[in-house]
Amino acid sequence: MGGASATGQFLDALFRDWPGDLLFDVWVEKGAPVGARRDSTDPSSGEDLVSAVKAFDAELVFFRPDARSESLLAINDAIDDNVPRVINIVDDWIARLRADESPHADMWDSQLESLVASSFARFAISPELGSQLAGQYGAPFDVISNVIDPADWLAPPPVPDDGPTSFRFSGQLAYMKGGSSLAAIALGVEGATNVDAELIIRNGGTGHERNYVESLGSLSRVRIEPFADDPADYRGFLAGADVNVVAFNMDEATRTYLRGSFANRVPELLAAGRPILAIGPTELATMRFLAGTGAAITHTSIDAVDIHRMITKLSTDEDLRQRLAENARVAASAFDRGAVIPDFYERLRTIAAGEQSNRVHGPRAIAERQRPVPPVRAEDHAPSTVDLDRLRAIRGIHAGETCVVVGNGPSLNETDLSLLDDQIVFASNAIFLLFDEVAWRPQYYASVDSRFLPDRHPDVEALLRAHPEMTGFFPTVLELHDGSDEYLSTRQLLPELDNRVLFWSQARKPNGTHSGAFSLDATAGLIQPSTVTVTLMQLAFHMGFSRIVLIGCDTSYSIPKTVEVSGPQAEGQSEGMLLTSTQDDDVNHFRPDYFGAGRAWHHPKVDHMIRHYEAAKTVLDLQGVEVINSTVGGALEVYPRLPLDKAIA
C-alpha cells in the first residue's frame, strides 16, 4: 500500500484511515512476499513473515490477487481458515495471461474460483467487471474504486492565458495500456500548427515504457517528465493542465484486459477540475463512464484528422473547456472518501464480527446450504451470445426519434391514451391489464422486479407469446431483497423466446450521484433502477431516441392498511421490504387489482426514485436527450412538463 503503482496508491486510499496497529500489509517484491504491520518500518520475509502474520491473529483478510501474487497464496493459506476473507479484483488479469498464452492462466482461473467460493464478500473496481466476474464465478460482486479527499483538491488556480494550451498525461504506456493511442495524440499536437499547444507526459521511463519515452520525447511540442513522488506535486500537475489526457490502446488484447477495469486516476482527473480528452475503445468501462460525466471529449479511433480536430477544438474553445471543467468537479463528488469509506469500513467490520454470512451462490456453496429458491448457476448471471447480439442489433435503430415511456400510475385513467396509437411505446410490469381499453401495444416491454416476475411470470410469458412483434427485456438474475442475499435466475422463470432478451444487471454505484446511475450501452448492462421507468429510459437511449416522453409516472405511493408486511426493514422506513396485498385496493396503479389480493410487491421508496430520475436527467442532458413529463398530475417534477398531445406533436 502506498507504493508507486496505481494499485498501491488505490489500496493506500482505501486503508489510509484504518488504525495502523490493526493492519498488516503483505505485498510481493521481486517475486517474494514481504510484509509489515502498518505501524512498523521493519518488514519481514520468508519464514519470519509467516510467523509474523500468524502472530498478528487477523480477524479479516482483504486479498487482492493478480498474476504477480502467486507467492501470496501461501501466506493466505497460513492464516486460519475460520478467518473471513474478502477479495478485490481490479482488472481481468486472467484474460491477459490467456492473451500471452501463459501456462499459469488455468491455474489462476481455478484459484480465483476457489477464492470466490470461500470469500465472505467480493469487490470489483467497476459494475462492469463485477457483472463479468459474477457471470464467470457465480457470486455477486460489490464495487469499490479509488477515492479522493476534496480537501486535497480545492478550486484549481486559473490556468494562465498566455503560453501554449497544455495537454497533460500521467500514467503507463506499456503493453495493453495506452502507448499507441497517446503517440497518436502526441503526433496530433505536433502537427496542429494552427494552434499553440504542447503535450507534457509524466512516465517512469523504464522497461517497455522506455521506447515510447525516447521516441515521443524527440517531438518538439512534447515534453517528458518523471513521475512525481510528492502527491501534492502530482495534484498540482493535473490541476495546472488546460486539458488532461486519458489514452487506451485499440488492440483486441487491451480491449479484453481492460474492458471492465476502471482507471484509478479518473477520480483524480475529475477532482482536478480540468477538461479531459479520452481516446480508447468504446467498450471499456472507463471510456463509457467518462462519456456519461460530461467532463470529457471522448473518441474511439486514432484517426489523425479527428485527433487534429479535437486538439484544435479544445485549444480554441474556452467556453467548452469551462463546461467540461464544471462537469468534472460535479462528477468528482461521487468519489468523496468521506461518503464512501465509512460504509466500506463498516462493511468490513461487520464481516469480521461474523454478522454477515457468506453470500456465494456458486456450485460449492450450493452443496453446503439448503435454499428456498432454485440455485443460480455461474452461467445464469451472463447474457447469452444471442442476447448480446440482439442488444447490439437495436443500438441506435431509432436515432433522432421520439418515444413514449408509459408508467403504471393511476394518472393513466386521466390520460387520453388513444394518442399513443401511432407512437413507439415502452411499458412494463402489468401493463397488459390495460389492453382491453386501448388499441395500441408497446413495442418494447421490461420487468426487473424480483417480486413481480416470480409472481406474474406466466402472464409475462403469455404476453410475449401473444405478441411476437414485442420485445421483452429482463435482467439475467433477480436479487430477492428479502435479507437472504439470494438470487433467482430469470431463465428459470421465462423460457427462451425469440422476443425475450436478457441483460446484465449492474448495481448502482456510487449511490446518490449521477455517475454510475445510467448505462449508455445496454450490451455492457443496465443499472439497477429505483423505478423500472429508468430501465426503460436506458433502453430508449441505447436505441437512439433523442426525445423521451413520460406518462403515468405519478411517483407517489401509499400502503393500504390491509397489506401484509414482512421481510427486512426498508431503508429509511419503519416497515418491512416485502408487501403482500390481501384485497383489491391498490391506489398506486391504474387498476385496484394491479397489486390486488394475493399479489406480492416491494415497499415503494419514492425518495430513491426521485434521486434516480435526477441522476438520469443529468446524464441525458449531457447526451443531448430531451425528457418531457406528460404525466397528468403526480409528484415527479424533475423533468419539464408538457401536455401529451403537444409533447408528441
Task: Please provide the DSSP assignment of 109-135 as one string.
Answer: HHHHHHHHHHEEEEEESSHHHHHHHHH
Q: At residue 361, does pLDDT exceed 60?
A: no
| Residue 347's pLDDT band (cuts 50, 70, 90) | confident
Note whether 114 and 89 are within 8 A (CB): no
Tell me whether residue 564 is in a domain: no
- Number of other residues whose CB lies within 10 A of the CB of residue 519: 25
If DSSP states are collapsed to H, E and C, what string results for 30-70? CCEEEEEECCCCCCEEHHHHHHHHHHHCCCCEEECCCCCCH
Q: At residue 162, does pLDDT exceed 90?
A: no
Q: At residue 373, does pLDDT exceed 50?
A: no
| Residue 175 sits in the same domain as residue 124 | no
| Residue 158 sits in the same domain as residue 130 | no
Residue that terminates a domain, selected from 143, 168, 199: 143
Helix and strand totals (H; E) in the chain: 21, 27
For the segment 247-258, the average pLDDT, to the nearest whole number, is 90
Task: Name which residue leads in pLDDT, 410 or 607.
Answer: 410
75-125, pLDDT tens digit by residue?
998 898 889 999 999 999 898 898 888 888 899 999 998 898 889 889 999
Q: Is the dihedral of CA 133, 134, 135, 139 positive or negative?
A: positive
Task: Provide the percentage of residues in the chain whose pLDDT is more than 90.
Answer: 47
For the segment 611-636, the average pLDDT, to the nearest whole number, is 92
Report the distance separating Cα 96 and Cα 445, nearest Å. Answer: 38
Task: Please provide the DSSP assignment of 615-630 as one string.
Answer: HHHHHHHHTT-EEEE-
Report the distance separating Cα 477 and Cα 499, nearest Å. Answer: 18
| Residue 312 sits in the same domain as residue 404 | no
The distance from CA 326 to its chain's CA centroid, rounded to whole angstroms, is 22
The distance from CA 214 to its chain's CA centroid, rounded to whole angstroms, is 37
| Residue 376's pLDDT band (cuts 50, 70, 90) | low
Report the distance separating Cα 113 and Cα 96, nearest Å. Answer: 17
Half-sphere exposure of 82 (CA within 13 A, CB side): 3
**Residues 48, 53, 54: CA angle, nearest 5 degrees:** 100
Tell me whether residue 501 is in a domain: yes
Tell me whether residue 475 is in a domain: yes
Q: pTM for the whole thing?
A: 0.62
For the segment 192-213, the average pLDDT, to the nearest whole number, is 87
Query: What per-residue string of b and e applies to 416-452 under the rule 16 or more CB within 10 Å gives b?
Result: ebebbeebbbbbbbbbbbbeeeeebbbbbbbbbbbbb
Task: Please provide the DSSP assignment of 142-200 as one string.
Answer: EE----B-GGGSPSPPPPPSSS-EEEEEES--STTTTHHHHHHHHHHHHH-TTS-EEEE
The CA-atom distances, in angstroms, between 205 and each of 173, 178, 249, 366 are: 9, 14, 18, 49
458-467, pLDDT tens digit by residue?
899 999 999 9
Query: What per-residue string of b and e applies to 318-356 under the rule 16 or more CB within 10 Å gives b?
Result: eeebeebbebbbbbbbbbbbebbbeebeebbeebbeeee
560-611, pLDDT tens digit by residue?
888 888 777 655 555 667 788 888 888 899 999 898 888 878 777 788 899 8
Dihedral of the CA atoms 621, 622, 624, 628 (nearest 10)?
A: -10
Residue that terminates a domain, selected from 143, 177, 209: 143
Q: Tell me what pLDDT residue 133 has.
A: 86
Least confident of 284-293, 385-394, 439-448, 547-556: 284-293
Tell me whether residue 292 is in a domain: yes
Query: What per-residue string of b and e applies to 606-615 under the rule 16 or more CB within 10 Å gives b?
Result: eebbbbbbeb
List the domain range (segments joined by +) for residue 156.
Answer: 150-334
Note whether 549 and 648 are within 8 A (CB): yes
For the segment 507-528, the average pLDDT, to the nearest whole number, is 70
Q: 505 has which bridge partners?
A: 526
What is the overall mean pLDDT for the chain? Answer: 86
Report the distance separating Cα 142 and Cα 121, nearest Å. Answer: 8
Q: Tell me what pLDDT residue 158 has.
A: 65
* Three-state secondary structure call for residue 292: helix
| Residue 185 sits in the same domain as residue 247 | yes
| Residue 435 sits in the same domain as residue 531 | yes
| Residue 523 sits in the same domain as residue 462 | yes
Question: Amino acid identity of 355?
Answer: E
Write the CB contacts of 412 (distance below 8 Å, at least 6 apart in sequence): 406, 434, 551, 552, 590
Least confident of 50-59, 204-213, 327-336: 204-213
| Residue 121 sits in the same domain as residue 171 | no
Task: Report CA Rg, the chain.
Answer: 26
Note whether 588 and 604 are within 8 A (CB): yes
Report the distance separating Cα 579 and Cα 589, nearest Å. Answer: 15
Of 493, 452, 450, 454, residue with least CA distance to 596: 452
Q: At residue 366, does pLDDT exceed 80?
A: no
H helices of 242-336, in order, are 252-258, 266-271, 285-293, 304-316, 318-332
Q: Tell me what pLDDT residue 355 has.
A: 55
For the segment 51-73, the average pLDDT, to the nearest whole number, is 91
Q: Tell me what pLDDT residue 377 has.
A: 59
CATH code of 392's domain: 3.90.1480
| Residue 168 sits in the same domain as residue 91 | no
Helix axes 6-15, 337-352, angle to 10 degrees: 80
CATH code of 154's domain: 3.40.50.2000
Report the distance separating Cα 520 and Cα 539, nearest Å. Answer: 9
Counted domains in the chain = 3
Q: 297 has which bridge partners?
A: 277
| Residue 159 sits in the same domain as residue 223 | yes
| Residue 154's pLDDT band (cuts 50, 70, 90) | confident
Note whether 231 and 272 are within 8 A (CB): no
| Residue 455's pLDDT band (cuts 50, 70, 90) | confident
| Residue 547 sits in the same domain as residue 412 | yes
Note whether 129 and 256 are within 8 A (CB): no
Report the distance separating Cα 93 and Cα 30, nearest Å. Answer: 19
* Three-state secondary structure call for residue 500: strand
Residue that terminates a domain, selected from 334, 367, 398: 334
| Residue 121 sits in the same domain as residue 203 | no
| Residue 510's pLDDT band (cuts 50, 70, 90) | very low
Report the distance separating Cα 520 and Cα 92, nearest Å. Answer: 22
Tell me whether residue 356 is in a domain: no
Q: Would strands 600-602 and 576-580 be described as parallel, antiparallel, or unpaired? A: antiparallel
Helix axes 606-622, 285-293, angle to 10 degrees: 90
Of 454, 491, 406, residue with least CA distance to 580: 454
User: Residue 111: phi, psi to the nearest 5?
Assistant: -65, -40
**Burial environment of residue 596 by CB neighbours within 10 A (0 to 12, 13 to 18, 19 or more):** middle
Note whether 360 and 117 are within 8 A (CB): yes
Set of cell numbers at residue 230? 510528492
Task: Provide the percentage of residues in the chain whose pLDDT is more than 70.
Answer: 91
Note whether 271 and 335 are within 8 A (CB): yes
Q: At residue 360, does pLDDT exceed 80?
A: no
Dihedral of the CA atoms 102, 108, 109, 114 (nearest 10)?
A: 170
Least confident of 289-293, 391-395, 626-630: 289-293
| Residue 358's pLDDT band (cuts 50, 70, 90) | very low
Task: Please provide the DSSP assignment of 312-370 as one string.
Answer: HHHHH-HHHHHHHHHHHHHHHGGGBHHHHHHHHHHHHHHHHTT-S-----SHHHHHH--
| Residue 188 sits in the same domain as residue 99 | no
- Number of other residues whose CB lies within 10 A of the CB of residue 389: 12
Tell me whether residue 517 is in a domain: yes
If DSSP states are collapsed to H, E and C, what string results for 402-440? EEEEECCCHHHHHCCHHHHCCCCEEEECCHHHHHHHCCC
| Residue 269's pLDDT band (cuts 50, 70, 90) | very high
